[in-house]
Amino acid sequence: MITFRFLWTSLGAAVLVVLMPQWFWLWLSLLLGLGLVDMLSCASPRRVRVVRDEPPPVRAGQSIRVTTQLENRGGRRLTGWAKDGWQPTAGAADPLQKIHIEAGRSTLMQVQLTPTRHGELSSQHITIRSLGPLGLAGRQVVHRVPQTLQVLPEFASRKHLPSKLRRLRELDGATAVQIRGAGTEFDSLRDYVRGDDVRSIDWRATARRQDAAGQHLVVRTWRPERDRRVILCLDASRTSAARIGDEPRLDAALETSLLLGALAAHAGDRVDFLAFAREVLATASSSERGRFLNVLSTAASRVQPALVEADFSQLPGEIAAITTHKSLVVILTAVDSPSLHEGLLPVLPALTEKHRVVVAAVRNPELVARAAARQTVSQVYAAAAAERAMIEGEAVAAELGAMGVEVVQAEPEALPGALADTYIRLKATGKL
């Protein structure tokens, strides 16, 4: 290969051609000779050993520096360029770097990555271009040493986590919870303060508490039950590939499962995650070793939308394999799709019989905007189509509600928060 310096040199040599045109062949052979000598005298890029480390997982949108060690095993000093072949969505800032490696020494090449997409991103090769001492020509070789980076979903809804956790803590040991019965656990006894439900006064404890100071009414407090089970079922079928705004439905669903998973794990519940299309694509459980959020993120990063119809019929079986106890089953899917009638609805009775089922879905804000635009004839027809889609979605939601299923629908950014609120409400009312 030849460099631009070779081009500038040959353009400069055009002056010699003008001054002494009769020596054309001499100038030509001189130029070619220089190039050939330079190419032969460069350090061999083939005799470079490439060692790549395994970078830790990183969230989408965050930056990381990945390192590659280049060792010059040849006898000459290697000067030139190295290019790391990261795929475009890895967002490599400086994949092409100048390198100088003395003979027998090694150097570290660091590439800054800012991945924009979750999943397994990779660089399959690194290209070493070695230049001769004159920099006119050189040799180039591709070393096929792969390096992969596990990119976890962005988890932008992380910002909701502190506020939701605080609300959970408020529930925990909160003032006398009015609703008694199944689903609440006895926490402690404390003095009655004005505003507490009189029905929660524990008369026996009050009788024991009598002293000289006078009357003390004692109330029982309750706290939300712990060690409940939450099963997150993520539909990664063709409906999840639909793009709403800038991102596919799946991304919003992943964000939602991450927030709810993190929240429930903090609340002391056991969380299982299940992504499926025709078959189960990824699973994670809070009973696994390690921080659950990392486990869940790693599992979620492997999920990509598949262009197949979801097979809901396996869902009761998969859930039964996870637990036989009553659980909160959260199904993240699309409610506006007619396929729900054939897919999810027939299997719902089997689920609602045993578990509490919540269906969470992303609402398309585009439909609302389209239904409101009514300036031209085409817009009116499009508005009617959008209204129709919304009516159908509402009908499906009503049908689900009639079967005892809680339906949470929100726009992509609002869905994680909305589902977390639903979870907290269910927990507070002891319906888990």
Footprint (CB under 8 A) of other proteins, residues 136-175: 140-145
Per CB under 8 A, the list member of 248, 316, 343, 416 interacting with other proteins is 248
Q: Which two tokens stand for residue 316?
A: 């009761």
Under rule CB under 8 A, residue 64 binds other proteins? no
> Which one of the spans 17-25, 197-205, 280-288, 342-350 is the region binding other proteins (CB under 8 A)?
17-25
Least separation in angstroms between CB 251 and other proteins: 10
Per CB under 8 A, the list member of 174, 281, 345, 389 interacting with other proteins is 389
Under rule CB under 8 A, residue 105 binds other proteins? no
Distance from C-alpha of 314 to C-alpha of 90, rounded to nearest angstrom: 35
Per CB under 8 A, the list member of 106, 107, 127, 285 interacting with other proteins is 127
Per CB under 8 A, the list member of 108, 112, 366, 404 interacting with other proteins is 366
Residues 221-240, interacting with other proteins (CB under 8 A): 238
Under rule CB under 8 A, residue 89 binds other proteins? yes
The count of C-alpha atoms lying within 13 angstroms of the C-alpha of 68, restricted to the half-sphere facing its C-beta, is 30
Q: Give one DSSP letter per residue of 104-125, joined into a string.
A: T-EEEEEEEE---S-EEEEEEE
DSSP state of 215: -
Least separation in angstroms between CB 113 and other proteins: 13
Per CB under 8 A, the list member of 100, 278, 374, 425 interacting with other proteins is 374
Distance from C-alpha of 326 to C-alpha of 336, rounded to nearest angstrom: 28
Q: Which of residues 96 and 193 has its CB atom nearest to other proteins in the complex?
A: 96
Q: Which of residues 148 and 175 has its CB atom nearest to other proteins in the complex?
A: 148
Under rule CB under 8 A, residue 383 binds other proteins? yes
> Which one of the spans 78-86, 156-164, 165-173, 325-333 is the region binding other proteins (CB under 8 A)?
78-86
Least separation in angstroms between CB 114 and other proteins: 15
Distance from C-alpha of 204 to C-alpha of 396, rounded to nearest angstrom: 51
CA dihedral 197, 200, 204, 210 (to 10 degrees): -30
- The DSSP H or E segment spanning 366 is helix 365-372
Least separation in angstroms between CB 72 and other proteins: 12
> Which one of the spans 191-199, 226-234, 280-288, 383-391 is the region binding other proteins (CB under 8 A)?
383-391
Strand partners, 211: 214
Q: Which residues contact 421 (CB under 8 A, 6 or more apart)?
A: 164
Under rule CB under 8 A, residue 99 binds other proteins? no
Per CB under 8 A, the list member of 38, 111, 117, 153 interacting with other proteins is 117
Distance from C-alpha of 156 to C-alpha of 353, rounded to nearest angstrom: 35
Distance from C-alpha of 283 to C-alpha of 303, rounded to nearest angstrom: 10
Least separation in angstroms between CB 350 and other proteins: 27
> Which one of the spans 116-124, 190-198, 204-212, 352-360 is the region binding other proteins (CB under 8 A)?
116-124
E strands in 114-209: 119-131, 138-143, 147-152, 184-191
Least separation in angstroms between CB 379 and other proteins: 8
Q: Which of residues 311 and 394 has its CB atom nearest to other proteins in the complex?
A: 394
Q: Give one DSSP letter per residue of 197-211, joined into a string.
A: -GGGB-HHHHHHT-B
Per CB under 8 A, the list member of 54, 56, 88, 98 interacting with other proteins is 88
Three-state DSSP at 48 gives: strand
- Picking from 191, 263, 182, 206, the residue whose alpha carbon sits closest to that of residue 230 is 263
> Which one of the spans 2-10, 100-108, 183-191, 316-324 is the region binding other proteins (CB under 8 A)?
2-10
Under rule CB under 8 A, residue 281 binds other proteins? no
Distance from C-alpha of 158 to C-alpha of 160, rounded to nearest angstrom: 5
Strand partners, 108: 69
Under rule CB under 8 A, residue 40 binds other proteins? no
